[in-house]
């Protein structure tokens, strides 16, 4: 995803926790886009698979939606591909 220099400058003034939350949201959306592209699907196809409106999926895919675990599981099930990976305890949080 292309990043705006204005947004990147503003990100420098946001606390680390909020920045990580936004980054993770964009990573989730990017991953869903990758899966859709690989499978030759569109957002409207995902909406149909999940029984949601195209408008709702479009809002999710802006990168600001706070996905629940249940929603992510539903998307993974519908697309037949993993979205998130939980790491083992040997990995640490960035400081």
Helix (H) or strand (E) holding 7: helix 5-11
Tens of pLDDT, residues 50-84:
999 999 999 999 888 889 999 999 999 999 999 99
**Alpha carbons 11 and 46: distance in angstroms, whole number:** 31
Indicate the length of the chain as a whole number.
Answer: 95
**Alpha carbons 34 and 46: distance in angstroms, whole number:** 13
**How is residue 14 annotated by DSSP?**
S
CB atoms near residue 64 (< 10 Å): 12
Tens of pLDDT, residues 3-52:
677 877 776 777 888 778 888 899 999 999 999 999 999 999 999 999 99
Q: Tell me, what's the pLDDT at 68?
A: 93
Q: Tell me, what's the pLDDT at 22?
A: 82
DSSP per position, 23-87: HHHHHHHHHHHHHHHHTT--HHHHHHHHT--HHHHHHHTTTT----HHHHHHHHHHHTS------
Q: Tell me, what's the pLDDT at 77?
A: 97
């Amino acid at each position: 995803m292309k990043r705006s220099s204005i947004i990147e400058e503003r990100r420098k003034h946001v606390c680390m926790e909020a920045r990580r939350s936004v980054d993770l949201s964009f990573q989730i959306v990017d991953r869903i886009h990758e899966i859709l592209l690989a499978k030759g699907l569109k957002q409207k196809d995902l909406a149909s698979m999940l029984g949601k409106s195209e408008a709702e999926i479009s809002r999710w895919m802006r990168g600001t939606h706070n996905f629940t675990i249940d929603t992510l599981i539903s998307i993974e099930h519908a697309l037949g591909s993993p979205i998130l990976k939980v790491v083992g305890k040997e990995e640490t949080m960035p400081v």
